[in-house]
């Protein structure tokens, strides 16, 4: 690999780390109304209207890890590790507090000016996700979120504002985080409340169509503003394995893969594949495609395909009482050949190599691993007051080896690697702080208590050596 080209770094999201929910003119956003506790999952999936959640609930996103006030110190730590890039996201409601204003919030724009300047001071390339599980609550209340086609225009205004403002500071953009998540957790993915399940599938696919149009229009607009922009799409990836070699199980795995890949099929190839239209028909979810929509999709194909990878999945065609893996939004049968994390996520480094090859064979576009990591409970060693997170090092080492094999032995084109939660942050799925991913420990517990003090874990120095050696030193 060319050291100057490959982007080693880390990944974060505004809604999980930024905080400052009432500061700088920011409006209320989607994740700000998702509580910690037993009601969280129902809100994330859209089964429970967030407006029915008691106001005295604990909402972890309100503070996150207070990156809004502490970003300079955090960036200095990232620089100490040698980061070549940092994946961040924009808080939509910090730029347009309601989402449908004519003019942006200047104070919000200035915050990201300062943030990006701080990164560039250390030669850290910002990789910016425009919408990462983010949406002003006003757009949900007034328009019903992405089910309304008007949101395309609001999103495009946000994109153009960002493109013009940060031209020269930001080169790499991602339009939507894990766009396929809309089918599995529609509120977190698109702000959809679906208490009435009668037309839930149709609403989800129609909203997805609007997001796909918005993504394509953003790519086109971005390229018109700057020829230097590289604008990608992103999915939550992970190959589906058939439970057995029964043809029916193989077919089931193929169908599950297609349900995820159809988003990036559209974004990378510029049109709906035939199977996608048939899939929507089977689900009684035929969507409205207006005249000119197909041309828009064709004109705004992504420059690269980004993805998150944590684990593979297993499916069966038979509805049997198979043991299920736990802790993952994606349903999966437990794979007996794999170990599992404390949260039941199965650990499959070879699955990353398989996923890389599958995606590259499918799209022939550069790939970017923008999330990969191990959530675990970290404990300080009594001997040296340090977190010896060898389990995290082992997980990342094995996955980096798989990535390097895909690059060097299989010829897969990979832009970079940004492990998730390079600093401890709020878990999107559970709202926990104690489900930690970072190289940097943040003193905060699940109930929001703590000093927010940052401390380096053992993995901090390990990852510094990985980056310094361009992935050749992994022990």
Which residue carries 């955090």 as its tokens? 74
Give how far Cα 266 sits from Cα of 40, 149, 391, Å. Answer: 31, 18, 37
Name the nearest CA neighbour of 294 among 276, 275, 270. Answer: 270
Which residue carries 């859209």 as its tokens? 46
Angle value at C-alpha 332, between 326 and 333, nearest 5 degrees: 95
Angle value at C-alpha 256, between 250 and 257, nearest 5 degrees: 90
Per-position b or e across 374-391, b if 16+ CB within 10 A of its CB: bbbebeeeeeeeebbbeb
Q: Which residues contact 423 (CB under 8 A, 6 or more apart)?
A: 10, 12, 17, 65, 74, 77, 78, 438, 439, 440, 442, 454
Catalytic site residue from 371, 409, 432, 468: 371
Active site residue 199: no
**Rg of the chain on CA atoms, in Å:** 21
C-beta of residue 438 within 8 angstroms of C-beta of residue 422 = yes
Handedness of CA 62, 65, 69, 75 (dihedral sign): negative
Instruction: Indicate the DSSP class of residue 219.
Output: H
Cα–Cα dist 253/387, whole Å: 39
C-beta of residue 157 within 8 angstroms of C-beta of residue 167 = no
SS3 track for 332-397 = CECCCCCEECCCCCEECHHHHHHHHHHHHHHHCCCEEEEECCCCECCCECCCCCCECCHHHHHHHH
Cα–Cα dist 402/396, whole Å: 10
Which residue carries 């949260």 as its tokens? 343
Cα–Cα dist 459/443, whole Å: 17
* Backbone φ, ψ for residue 96 (5° rounding): -125, 95
C-beta of residue 351 within 8 angstroms of C-beta of residue 239 = yes
Largest Cα–Cα separation, the chain: 68
Please list the active-site residues: 371
């Amino acid at each position: 690999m060319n050291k100057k080209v490959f982007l080693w770094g880390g990944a974060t999201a505004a809604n999980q780390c930024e905080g400052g929910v009432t500061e700088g003119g920011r409006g209320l956003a989607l994740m700000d109304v998702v509580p910690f506790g037993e009601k969280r999952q129902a809100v994330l999936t859209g089964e429970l209207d967030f407006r029915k959640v008691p106001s005295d609930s604990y909402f972890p996103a309100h503070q996150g890890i207070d990156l809004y006030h502490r970003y300079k110190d955090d960036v200095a730590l990232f620089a100490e590790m040698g980061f070549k890039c940092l994946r961040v996201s924009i808080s939509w409601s910090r730029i347009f507090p309601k989402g449908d204003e004519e003019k942006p919030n200047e104070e919000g724009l200035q915050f990201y000016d300062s943030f990006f300047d701080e990164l560039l001071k250390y030669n850290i390339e910002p990789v910016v996700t425009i919408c990462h599980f983010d949406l002003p609550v006003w757009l949900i209340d007034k328009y019903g979120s992405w089910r309304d086609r008007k949101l395309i225009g609001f999103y495009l205004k946000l994109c153009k504002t960002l493109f013009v403002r940060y031209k020269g500071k930001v080169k790499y953009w991602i339009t939507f985080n894990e766009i396929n998540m809309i089918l599995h957790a529609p509120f977190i993915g698109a702000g959809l409340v679906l208490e009435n399940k009668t037309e839930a599938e149709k609403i989800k696919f129609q909203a997805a169509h609007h997001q796909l149009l918005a993504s394509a229009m953003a790519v086109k607009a971005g390229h018109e503003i700057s020829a230097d922009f590289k604008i990608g799409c992103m999915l939550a990836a992970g190959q589906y394995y058939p439970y057995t070699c029964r043809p029916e199980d193989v077919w089931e795995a193929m169908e599950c893969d297609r349900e995820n890949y159809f988003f990036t099929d559209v974004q990378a190839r510029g049109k709906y594949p035939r199977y996608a239209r048939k899939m929507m028909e089977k689900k009684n979810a035929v969507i409205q495609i207006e005249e000119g929509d197909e041309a828009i999709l064709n004109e705004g194909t992504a420059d690269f395909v980004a993805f998150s990878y944590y684990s593979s999945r297993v499916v069966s065609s038979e509805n049997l009482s198979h043991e299920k893996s736990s802790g993952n939004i994606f349903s999966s049968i437990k794979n007996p050949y794999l170990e599992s994390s404390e949260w039941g996520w199965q650990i499959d480094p070879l699955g990353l190599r398989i996923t890389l090859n599958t995606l590259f064979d499918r799209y022939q576009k550069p790939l970017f691993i923008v999330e990969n990591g191990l959530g675990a409970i970290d404990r300080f060693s009594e001997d040296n007051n340090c977190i010896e997170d060898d389990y995290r090092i082992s997980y990342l080492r094995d996955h980096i080896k798989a990535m390097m094999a895909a690059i060097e032995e299989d010829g897969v084109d990979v832009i970079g690697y940004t492990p998730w939660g390079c600093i401890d942050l709020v878990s999107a799925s559970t709202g926990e702080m104690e489900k930690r991913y970072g190289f940097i420990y943040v003193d905060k517990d699940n109930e929001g208590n703590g000093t927010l003090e940052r401390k380096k874990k053992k993995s901090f120095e390990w990852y510094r050596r990985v980056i310094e050696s361009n992935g050749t030193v992994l022990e």
